[in-house]
Structure 1
Amino acid sequence: MKRILSYLNALTLRGYARLQVFAAQEPVRLRAALTSAALAVALVVPGLAADGIAEKIGAVGAIALPILVGESARRKVTPTD
């Protein structure tokens, strides 16, 4: 059982790392995927479609992702003299 849990933990960490790399390299595609997922959930669960929830989630993603990706890229860049 411990071996299965260890494998699932490693799989989760790999997925998280790949998601971070994808977010850094393709922020526009990630925002589009998140907005599409929010719209799909709003379609399946009609209660979430009220009051523009999907649009609010998309707007938060459009604002937050460039900030997070920008901070990550800023740390990697060294200033030149």
Structure 2
Amino acid sequence: MKLRTYLNDLTLRALVALQTFAATEPVRLRALLTSAVLAVGFLVPALANQNTAQAIASVGAVVLPIVVGETARSKVTPV
């Protein structure tokens, strides 16, 4: 019973933290979500086929939105 309560509390705290992060850092959140989608779309198939060139290009495609998001974040004021 205590473990279930602890896990429920932990889940609720994580959701509140995610909502707070989304409200205060929308540009950074969009960059992270874009990178996650690109990682799943490019990097996972490249690793399955062991294609080195595609894996390297995939890493670049995943890192680029994060870098652009950080640059844009410095220009945008959160609400």
Indicate the residue corresponding to 2:8 in structure 1: 9
Instruction: Give distance in 1, aligned partners of 2:45 and 2:18.
Output: 26
TM-score (norm 1): 0.52
Which residue identity is paired with 2:23? A
- Percent of pairs identical after alignment? 61
Instruction: Give distance in 2, aligned partners of 1:44 and 1:13.
Output: 30
Instruction: Give distance in 2, aligned partners of 1:26 and 1:3.
Output: 34
Count of matched residue pairs: 46
Instruction: Give distance in 2, aligned partners of 1:45 and 1:4.
Output: 37
**Structure 1 stretches of 4+ moved >4 Å:** none
Unaligned runs of 5+ in 2: 47-78
TM-score (norm 2): 0.53
